[in-house]
Amino acid sequence: MSDLTKMSAAQLAKAIAAKEASAVEVATAHLDRIDAVDERVHAFLHVDREGALAAAADVDAGKRTGPLAGVPVAVKDVIATKGVPTTAASKILEGWRPPYDATIVERLRAAGTVMLGKTNMDEFAMGSSTEYSAYGPTNNPWDLGRIPGGSGGGSAAAVAAYEAPLAIGTDTGGSIRQPGAVTGTVGAKPTYGGTSRYGLIAFSSSLDTPGPCARTVEDAALLHSVIAGHDVRDSTSIPQPVPDVVGAARRGAGGDLSGVKLGVVKEFAGDGSEPGVLSAFHESLEALVKLGAEVVEVSCPHFQYALPAYYLIAPSEASSNLARFDGVRYGLRTGDDGSRSLEEVMSLTRDAGFGPEVKRRIILGTYALSSGYYDAYYGQAQKVRTLITRDFEAAWKSVDVLVSPTTPFVAFPFGSRTSDPYQMYLADLFTIPTNLYGGPAISVPCGLSEGLPVGFQVMAPTMADDRMYRVAAALESAVGTLTPPTLEATA
């Protein structure tokens, strides 16, 4: 493994700008690393070697510039990349090449980054383990027999396995933070509307939020600052300046948190987190107190209803968002042999194209929105959402951020939860309230439990993304970053 793949994005950007390394060298080092390890990790669904080398050559020739010029980045396959296959890890979109770039991809290009390829995920971002990818699971670099988290398991694993210094994920119920936690990387969900959804294949429109995956808090902030900002093509995008997340991360790395009030959610305490997770969390809290932070217990009485509310709202929106995949205009079409009706062809196409978790959620969402059930399910879930938002707003009156473990358990072995969807859904127990509220949250590695990474979550008020980076960077400065085992050793 070359040194170039071990460097942070910040270091790479500096080295390339100073001509100490060429962008082509950097891209080649990462592409070689992908060649060497991705057969075992399976973080990528598509590697765009040619496109990456061409983009890197343009950086070296001075044709492309920007704050992250020459820094490689991997993009979750749910985000449209012009001319580059985009499948959302579903059979129904196999081979589809979008005729346009997502806004955040345009911004990645404008920042000078070099796109390496598209990362694996749970199909249509539905899942917590990347076991629901139609193209096979991604393996956790820490233990290839365990899940890398989901749905952004590919993005997190690519970063953890040194295949890319940076990756883009999307977080609907925790899909950036939970994979970050179980792979020992940093994953941030920006404020909803802080990053554009234009070009992000919708799972749940009111929750989906693209955000950064990295190995350090500063790197995550750098990527965050590049992709965030108002987009006229997304009506829910917030027309306000991006908080100075990079500055906040650098300030936090200085290690001073005096005057910062951390809220610990009382209702999260009894939720059966693994003991190793809890002790890593409490040790981290102590480390933060040493940096001057104050810890306050906060009650968020409606957080306990977040999971059921989420599993009504997200599938409802998904059932509508995924209706467009019908075999009429693009993607897979099955059974069109001239003997079948339109309805039959649509039905056969959707049966063949969608995997089990996607079907489960489409059916659940269709049911929840049906007349006669709307008020009892979707309508009720929206009310719960309002109450959870009020819990957050009440909390901000007494604390600056809320903190919790990111997940109740470390990476579990493949297949151990797929037979019981509810057990799988618990993986997002601590991450989901933030999605229903819309504020930013980040997961930072905070130690190990049974040799596997544990994540520490920091949640902040909407558009206070900078505050969350400051606390996260302070924690990182105190506990250090985790070094995944090199895959050469485990091979």
Partner 1 sequence: MTTTALPTYEDAVSRYEPVIGLETHVELGTATKMFCGCRTDFGAEPNTQVCPVCLGLPGALPVANRAGIEATIRIGLALNCDIAEWCRMARKNYFYPDMPKNFQTSQYDEPLCVDGYVDVEVDGKQYRIGIERVHLEEDTGKSLHVGGATGRIHGATESLVDYNRAGIPLVEIVTKPVPGLGALAPEVAKAYVAELRDIIRSLGVSDVRMEQGSLRCDVNTSLNKPGEEWGTRTETKNVNSLRSVERAVRSEIIRQSGLLDEGTRIFQETRHFQETTGDTRPGRSKETATDYRYFPEPDLVPIAPDKAWVAELKAALPERPSSKRARLREEWGISATDMESVANAGAVELIEETIAAGASPAGARKWWMGELARRANETGVELAAVGATPAQVAALQKLVDEGKLNDKLARQVLEGVVAGEGDPAAVMNARGLGVVSDTGALTKAVDDAIAANPDIAAKVRDGKVAAAGALVGAVMKTTRGQADAKTVRDLILERLGAS
Write out the catalytic residue numbers. 76, 151, 175
**Residue closest to 122 by CA, chosen among 155, 74, 97:** 155
* Comparison of 219 and 317: residue with beta carbon closer to partner 1: 317
Tokens of 180: 């970050």
Number of residues that bind partner 1 (CB under 8 A): 44
> Measured from the CB of residue 372, what is the shortest distance to partner 1 in angstroms?
9
- Among the listed ranges 131-139, 218-226, 275-283, 311-319, the one in contact with partner 1 (CB under 8 A) is 311-319
For partner 1, the closer CB: 381 or 475: 381
CB of 203 to partner 1, least distance (A): 11
Judge whether 157 and 148 are in contact, CB under 8 Å. Answer: yes
> Burial code of 283-319, b = ≥16 C-beta within 10 A, e = fewer?
bbbebbeebebebeebebebbbbbbebbbbbbbbbbb
Does 481 contact partner 1 by CB under 8 A?
Answer: no
Residue 320 as a binder of partner 1 (CB under 8 A): the answer is yes
Q: Which of residues 184-203 bind partner 1 (CB under 8 A)?
A: 197-202
Q: Tokens for 454?
A: 């544990």
Q: Which is nearer to partner 1, 266 or 324 (CB)?
A: 324
User: Rule CB under 8 A: is residue 158 a binding residue for partner 1?
Assistant: no
Residues listed for the chain: 491
If binding is defined by CB under 8 A, does position 155 make contact with partner 1?
A: no
- State yes or no: residue 328 binds partner 1 (CB under 8 A): yes
Tokens encoding 53: 């080398």
Binding to partner 1 (CB under 8 A) within 84-103 occurs at: 86, 88, 93, 96, 98-100, 102
Binding residue (CB under 8 A) for partner 1 from 233, 266, 290, 383: 233
Phi and psi at 103, nearest 5°, equal -55, -45
Question: Is the CB of 7 or the CB of 105 nearer to partner 1?
Answer: 105
Q: How far is the CB of 438 from partner 1 (least distance, A)?
A: 12
Task: With CA atoms as reference, report the closest residue to 334 among 83, 96, 325.
Answer: 325
Q: 2, 22, 206, 304: which one contacts partner 1 (CB under 8 A)?
A: 206
Q: How far apart are CA 420 and CA 411, in angstroms?
A: 16
217-227 and 465-479 are packed helices; what angle lies between their axes, rounded to 10 degrees? 160
**Residue 346 binds partner 1 (CB under 8 A):** yes
Q: How far is the CB of 367 from partner 1 (least distance, A)?
A: 9
Q: How far apart are CA 269 and CA 255, in angstroms?
A: 27
292 CB-near residues (< 8 Å, 6+ apart): 256, 257, 258, 259, 260
Residue choice 31, 41, 79, 253 for contact with partner 1 (CB under 8 A): 79
Report the residue from 140, 185, 319, 434 that binds partner 1 according to the rule CB under 8 A.
Answer: 319
Instruction: Please state at what angle helix 217-227 crosses helix 9-17, rounded to 10 degrees.
Output: 70
Does 397 sit near partner 1 (CB under 8 A)? no
Interface residue with partner 1 among 22, 205, 416, 423 (CB under 8 A) is: 205
> Closer to partner 1 at the Cβ: 369 or 403?
369
Among 14, 83, 145, 232, binds partner 1 (CB under 8 A): 232
Catalogue the long-range contacts made by 391-397 (C-beta closer than 8 Å, 24 or more residues apart): 391/300, 391/301, 391/302, 391/303, 391/433, 392/300, 392/433, 392/437, 392/439, 392/459, 392/461, 394/300, 395/263, 395/298, 395/300, 396/461
Which residue ranges make up the site for partner 1 (CB under 8 A)? 79-80, 86, 88, 93, 96, 98-100, 102, 197-202, 204-206, 232-236, 316-317, 319-320, 323-326, 328-330, 342-343, 346, 366, 369-371, 374, 378
